[in-house]
Chain A
Amino acid sequence: GAVVSQHPSRVICKSGTSVKIECRSLDFQATTMFWYRQFPKQSLMLMATSNEGSKATYEQGVEKDKFLINHASLTLSTLTVTSAHPEDSSFYICSARGVDREGSYNSPLHFGNGTRLTVT
């Protein structure tokens, strides 16, 4: 089945630094990727939607200059948390949808295992 790999699984950084999280589709071409954020004991909140080769669409209230999303290829999207602060500490999860080798449109969305970001 479709697999989405997210890296790193955990990262600790100092306040003011930037952190990049990668999301890769391993056996299909991800035409669209979604980035979610999950606060402790809460649900997942959609941050942004990115389509390969175009700018990401951010949900209301999400700072696009702080959470930079790049989807430069059909298998890779990156989320960069710029000038991270302790309040950015969270669990970030990506998901992807696209077309597999047989040309089938894969649904439902497939999720990565998430990245636990801790900003000290």
Chain B
Amino acid sequence: GNSVTQMEGPVTLSEEAFLTINCTYTATGYPSLFWYVQYPGEGLQLLLKATKADDKGSNKGFEATYRKETTSFHLEKGSVQVSDSAVYFCALKTSYDKVIFGPGTSLSVIP
């Protein structure tokens, strides 16, 4: 079946530190991959996406590369800010448009 696994949180970083949140997936076929961000008390916002192998999604300094050989889509940012504190969800979308979410990783950035 389809599933998404993320590194467990919470993750606490100092401002300007490097961020990596690991994500691996299991899927039949060729899914699209996404990172969503959820700020406290809010819904989900699409952060970035990749639709095929070797695609790199990027937005607001975040980036992730679709690695088919390792079935991974790790999220990275070179220098985090306090405003990046949120929960990050890795997700895949099947051919039927069902979105399967990972468990989420909570990030706290301290000044």
Which residues does A use to contact B, with CB under 8 Å?
6, 32, 34, 41-44, 46, 49, 93, 95, 97, 107-114, 116
Contacts and interface: CB of A to CB of B under 8 A. Distances in A.
Interface stretch (B22-30, B39-47, B60-68): B39-47
B46 A113 contact: no
Contacts of B101: 43-44
Given A43-B102, A43-B103, A108-B32, A113 B97 contact: no
A108 B46 contact: yes
Interface size class, chain B: 20 to 34
B19 interface: no
28 contacts: A34-B97, A41-B104, A42-B104, A43-B101, A43-B102, A43-B103, A44-B89, A44-B101, A46-B98, A46-B100, A49-B98, A93-B43, A93-B44, A95-B99, A97-B97, A107-B93, A108-B34, A108-B46, A108-B49, A109-B99, A110-B46, A111-B36, A111-B44, A111-B45, A111-B46, A112-B43, A113-B42, A113-B43
Interface of B: 32, 34, 36, 41-46, 49, 89, 93, 97-104, 106
A32 B94 CA distance: 14
